[in-house]
Amino acid sequence: MENKILGLHHITAIADNAKRNLDFYTQVLGVRLVKKTVNFDDPGTYHFYFGNEMGEPGTILTFFPWEGIGKGAPGAGMATHIGYSVPKGSLDFWKNRLTQYRIQWIEDEIFGEKLISFRDPDGLQLQFIETTDPRLPWTTTDIQAENALKGFHNVTLSLRKAEPTLKILTDILGYTLSQQIDNRYRLTTDSIATANMVDIIADENLNYGKNAAGTNHHIAFRVKNDNVLMEYREKILSAGLDITPKINRDYFFSLYFREPGGVLFEIATDNPGFTVDEQLSSLGSALKLPKQYESHRLQIEKALPKID
């Protein structure tokens, strides 16, 4: 199984205000700030990683909070809905909690699964889906294990045409089309039991999305290590797609390519993980900088927005 795609590794989105983003995910939704670092290409911008206690792949939602970027527009060529797994029977807790924070939600059912949908403060579409999920969640005083987020359940791509993306997911990444209702498709991989689904909504009339706050930047698929990563690079090149060289992101190694429907895909490794530069007990407590920026720490710290 180790030479397969192991479901989702992380999902990265764009926010506007860093403090608002941090407070919402840690205080309202109760996930852990696993890593506080900066954007590799823009060190004046934070890069937050939120997940479970260990920052396990499949639980990590990351953000580039670009101050003042303004609202984006979700649409074709994007991952438009991020689905979290929550324990059976916990949706009433989340309805009450979201209402307490004046967040509007709606009930829905997709492929027979009960869920609620709502938007974060920047407009990013989130879905909480009741599942049986063995992963151990991060808990807080307000949010105990019987209600806490387990990690990703699925991600939904919005596309004008499904077929070219379906081909990449099935022929290269090893997913299987498991369900279809009208223009909605569900693909799964049996290589792992969690964070193992990708949904597609296909609509030729969809407007293309505009990347800014409240929209997805990219989704990352998980592989065990560098060797498997480079095997996938050869597969993607052989399919005639452009793909980056291997990039060291400090906490994983990765490759990026844009699939035919326009969504930016990444493939990322388990190694070395988030404890490479912090103890498990103190993950996310210190500002960690890529090595190339360490000599500029004082200037970077002054330029970054205040979040304390």
Give the rounded distance of the alpha carbon of 95 from its chain centre.
22
Taking residues 31-59, report their average pLDDT. 97
Express each pLDDT in 183-223 by its tens digit: 999 999 999 999 999 999 999 999 999 999 999 999 999 99
Percent of the chain predicted with pLDDT > 90? 99
* Cα 239 from Cα 172, distance rounded (Å): 8
Predicted TM-score of the model (pTM): 0.97
pLDDT (tens digit per residue) in 156-183: 999 999 999 999 999 999 999 999 999 9
**All structural domains of the chain with their residue ranges:** 8-303
Cβ pair 243, 235 in contact under 8 A: no
What phi, psi does 211 have (nearest 5°)? -75, 115
Q: Using CA atoms, how far apart are residues 231 and 180, in angstroms rounded to an integer?
A: 30
pLDDT at 27: 98
What does DSSP assign to residue 305?
A: P
CATH topology of domain 8-303: 2,3-Dihydroxybiphenyl 1,2-Dioxygenase; domain 1 (3.10.180)
